[in-house]
Structures are given as C-alpha cells and as structure tokens.
Amino acid sequence: RELRARLAAYRPLIELARPLMQRLVARRLPGAASGAVALLADTEGVLLAVIAGRGAQTTLAPGWRLSEDRAGTCAVALALREGRPAVVAGAEHYHEAYHDWICWAAPIRLAERRPSAVLAVAVRGTALDARIRVYLVECAAALAGVWRAWRRNLSQQVLLGPGSPWPLIAVDGDGRVLDCNPAAERELGLLREKLVGRRWEQLGFVAVQPGEGEAAPDEGQLVSLTGAGGERSFFLMQNAPLPGGAGERPGRVYALVNITRWRERFEQADYRRRLALLERLGAFVVHEARNPLAAIRVSAELAAMTPDPERRTALMQQIIASVDDLNRFLGDLLDLVRPKQAQRGPVDVGVILQRVVELFAPQAKMAGVDLRVRAVKGALPVIGNEHLLGYALGNLVRNALQATPAGGAVSVRVERRPSRGSVLIRVSDTGAGIPPGIRRHLLTAAVSTKGRYEAGLGLLLSHRVITEAHGGRVWFRTREGAGTTFYVELPLAAAPMANTDATG
C-alpha cells in the first residue's frame, strides 16, 4: 500500500522519465559487458522505475531502497547525499552481488537545493566510457526541465475529475477556494459545495517543521490537518500558479499527498533509535568516567588519612588532574557527537596515521598481531580537525586489532587518488569477519560485536566524523573467516601543506 501511494505521487515524473530511460538502455554502452539497467529513485533512495536493456538481468525492482542505511555504498545513495553526479564501481559496492557492476547516478534538481530524484544507469563491467556520465547528466537536466514544465501546467489538470490520484484545490488571487476534485473532498471530509468560497486559511492547514533526521521536502511543504474527531493527518503540499483573467490577481493550485502513515512509522522508528542510542551513549559515558572517578576517590581517601602535608598536597594535585581528565573527556565527547561544530584547518593525514600506528604498536605487540603501515611519501593535506580525525582512524585500527587473533596481521595502507582529488585509507585485518546480521547498519546505528554491555558507538561516531566533519566516505568489505577491510576516502585540500614530515 505504501509503495502504491509513493508510485502514485511520483506517477507524472515516472511517465516523463520512461522515454529517457528507454534511450539509455536501447543499445550496448561503450565499455559494458552486458546490457544496461536504468534506474529512477526518489529522495529516500526508493526505486520508482527500473528498465533493463537487452541482455541485462537484475533483481532490482520498484520499491527497493538504495539509501546508504539500507544498501550501503552505491551510486544512487552517494548522489543523493552529495547532491552531485557519482560513480561506484566494482568492489566499492557494499553488496558482493554488484562487485562486477559499475553504476553512474545523477541527481534531478527542481531547485537549487537537495536532489528531488536520481537517474542512474548500471552495467556489468569494470569500466564505462566517460561520455556516459555527460549523457546521463544531460538526461537528468532534461528530465528536471520537463518536470518543471509539467508542474507549471498543473493548473490545467486541477479539474480532471475522479481520475486524478492527488487531492487538488484551486484558490483565486484573494485566497478563496475556486474548485476542487473528488480526491480533495475525500481527504478533507467535506463536499465540494462546502469547500468552494471558503478562504484558504479556513481549511485548517498548519505548517509542520521536519523532525531531526527527516528530509525537508523539495518544492513543497509539510502541513497537518486536524479532523472533526481530533485525528491529525499529515500532507506533503505542493503548489503551482493559476493564471487569472484580465485585471485579476493570479491564484494557486495546491496538490496534497497524504503521508500520515509514513510519518507515524518514521516517528516510531526514530523514537526506538533514539532510545537505543541513549542507552549506548549512557553506557559509554559511565564506562569512560569510572576510571577518573575511581582515581579521585582513592586519592581523596588517602589524602584524608595521611598526616604528611606534602603527601596530602600531592594527592590533591592528583585529584585536580583527574578532574581535568574527566572534563577533557566530556569536551571530547561533545565534539564527537557534534562534529560539524568542531574547529577545522589544514591537517596531514599521513602524520595522523603515523601517530595512530605508533600509539597502537605496543598493544599489537602484546597481542601477537603484526601491525603494518604503508604510506605514500609527501604530505597528504586535508581540511579537518586533527583530534577528531585521529579518533576516527584510531578507532578503525583499534577495532581491527581487537578482531585479529594472535599470529594474524593488521595492515594500514594509504594512497593518493589524483583522478578523484582524494586520499584513500585502507585498514585490513585477518579476523573472523563481521556477522551478517549487523553489516547493513554497522555505520549508521549503535551496534556492537563485543557483547550486550559494550557501547558500540565507535563506528557510529567515526562515520559521523569522517562524513559530516570532513566530507569523506566510509565503506567496508568483509568475509566470514577471511577478515575485514575498512575504506576511508577523504577529499584532498586544494593547496599543498608546507610541512611534509609524513613517512613512506
């Protein structure tokens, strides 16, 4: 039912996109090993249309969700998040089933804001002619133009009658209802005769601010309406101009999409997520605060018992130092949960990684794990926060060491990607791999492989630090019994740094 409502809301865009999608898959693309598959997805990464060309086989279908929290790394999710054309090739895909595919995706914009939809094309093969990217971007721009033109002509469709799936209301220049269709009568619970002539304000629509984690609608507004029985319904409302006659002010046509059930499910899922995250965060704070608190208690008890003034003074200084440590920890935690507000500047990824490896070298030696690092010569400058980036990369190395048994190895590799203007970091281990049940939400939820009372916040906070504070990407590849590799891609700073003390 939810998919039917979603497809109905996007039906004009789907019908307008089909001819372009059919052209994309009509012939074998240069560099492709099979026919192409064209995809159209909405702002949540839900597939609205899938068209496969000759010789192409795919399990994708309308209703599949290709957002990062559901599908991991893929071109559609990347284009939605970054708001620009994206390509994901081979093993960069999260799912192994698509490791022999390459996919280009281009956002469809209705305004200078976040994407309103995404057009993508995927083929089997290891490379795809760069001209396909240009053609795909042109197709997305053309589709956006046609979609805008359709919306401008929405006023011509307001009185189409019972065939329209949307509640449509025409309002004149003075804000009075001119007409409506049967769908509007059903949603508002009033007959057309009762609606015509009313002022728009009398209909009772109230603007609603999107909740945290809920995307703001493009070219539209979230509104609510309270029914006669007190029940509250939520709508996504869009509008288009309604030309007036000679000497008359132009009116508006309002189109409504009922999203009440979707919003209720979103709020319930968000509430459960917040409770789980609060539980994990509380366990993390308690665990980390116990050590300085225990030190403070021991030092206070000793200070109370000792008759030596110098000894008492030294103990009091230890108490002050422990309080400072606790205060520093709380400040660091605040930076981690609000990474966008942290101070940023030019930092050298090579230097940070070298310090991280030196920090964990004793732990690796005690555990009998071979910790190796392989970095490029010269500076690797990025714009970021040295402390937060060190935490994020250190957390990946720590997790790799904890997952690797004695006699195994953890390797850290760094390489430049000049064609992408970025630096790629790989942290690999020879452990048991990540259990399938937590892979999908590993980077976007507080999950842990270490037991019920472990915080499980490390990867979640690291993901936020890398993506939100540094504009980077994080993904991983894992096989049970064969280990895991985490990948971190960070955009290089435009200008090189003067200090180049990174080791090769």
* Topology classification of domain 273-337: Helix Hairpins (1.10.287)
What stretch of H or E contains 176?
none
Please, which residues have CB within 8 angstroms of residue 360's CB and are 6 or more apart in sequence? 371, 394, 397, 398, 401
**Residue corresponding to tokens 């894992």:** 478
What are the residue ranges of helices labelled H in 174-218? 182-188, 192-195
| Phi, psi of 485, rounded to the nearest 5 degrees | -125, 125
Class in CATH terms, 2-152: alpha beta
What stretch of H or E contains 88?
strand 86-89
- pLDDT for residue 488: 92
Q: Count the helices and strands in the chain (H runs, E runs).
A: 13, 18
* Topology classification of domain 157-258: Beta-Lactamase (3.30.450)
CA distances from 184 to 162, 169, 190, 195 (A): 10, 7, 8, 10
| Domains 2-152 and 157-258 agree in fold | yes
How far is the C-alpha of 57 from the C-alpha of 35, rounded, in Å? 8
Please, which residues have CB within 8 angstroms of residue 267's CB and are 6 or more apart in sequence? 211
412: closest CA among 359, 457, 451, 452?
A: 359
CA 79 to chain centroid:
10
DSSP 364-430: HHHHT-EEEEE--SS--EEEE-HHHHHHHHHHHHHHHHHHSPTT-EEEEEEEEETTTTEEEEEEEE-
> How many CA atoms within 13 Å lie on the side-chain side of 48?
27
- pLDDT for residue 214: 42
Q: What does the CA dihedral 259, 44, 276, 446 come to, rounded to 10 degrees?
A: 180
pTM of the model: 0.44
Give the pair of three-digit tokens for residue 412.
Answer: 């850290």
How far is the C-alpha of 68 from the C-alpha of 121, rounded, in Å? 18
The single-letter code of the amino acid at 206 is: V
How far is the C-alpha of 152 from the C-alpha of 489, rounded, in Å? 41
Whether the CB-CB separation of 490 and 384 falls below 8 Å is answered with yes
CA distances from 4 to 76, 232, 245, 290, 414 (A): 21, 22, 38, 52, 47
- 52 by DSSP, 3-state: which? strand
Whether the CB-CB separation of 179 and 197 falls below 8 Å is answered with no
- pLDDT for residue 328: 67
434: closest CA among 413, 453, 448, 424?
A: 448
How many residues can be counted in the chain? 504
B/e letters for 250-273, b = 16+ CB within 10 Å, e = fewer, are ebbbbbbbbbeebbeebeeeeeee
> Domain spans of the chain?
2-152, 157-258, 273-337, 345-491
The one-digit pLDDT tens for each residue of the chain (504 residues) are 677 777 877 777 888 888 888 887 876 555 555 678 899 998 888 999 999 887 777 888 898 888 877 777 888 988 888 888 888 888 788 777 778 888 889 998 865 566 788 999 888 775 666 677 788 888 888 888 777 666 655 544 544 445 566 788 888 888 888 888 888 888 888 888 888 888 888 888 888 765 544 443 444 577 888 877 778 888 888 877 776 555 567 788 888 877 787 777 766 766 676 666 666 667 767 766 776 677 788 888 888 888 888 888 888 888 887 787 677 667 666 665 665 666 778 889 888 888 888 888 888 888 899 998 887 777 888 888 888 888 888 889 988 998 899 999 999 999 888 888 889 999 999 988 888 777 766 776 555 554 332 335 677 778 888 887 788 888 888 888 889 999 999 998 864 433 333 333
How far is the C-alpha of 100 from the C-alpha of 105, rounded, in Å? 17
What is the radius of gyration, based on Cα positions, of the chain?
28
- 39 by DSSP, 3-state: which? strand
What stretch of H or E contains 328?
helix 309-337
- pLDDT for residue 486: 92
How far is the C-alpha of 170 from the C-alpha of 203, rounded, in Å? 13
CA distances from 264 to 258, 267, 343 (A): 12, 5, 37
* CATH classification code of 345-491: 3.30.565.10
How far is the C-alpha of 183 from the C-alpha of 166, rounded, in Å? 6
- pLDDT for residue 109: 81
CA distances from 387 to 342, 343, 349, 384, 423 (A): 10, 10, 11, 9, 18
- pLDDT for residue 187: 82
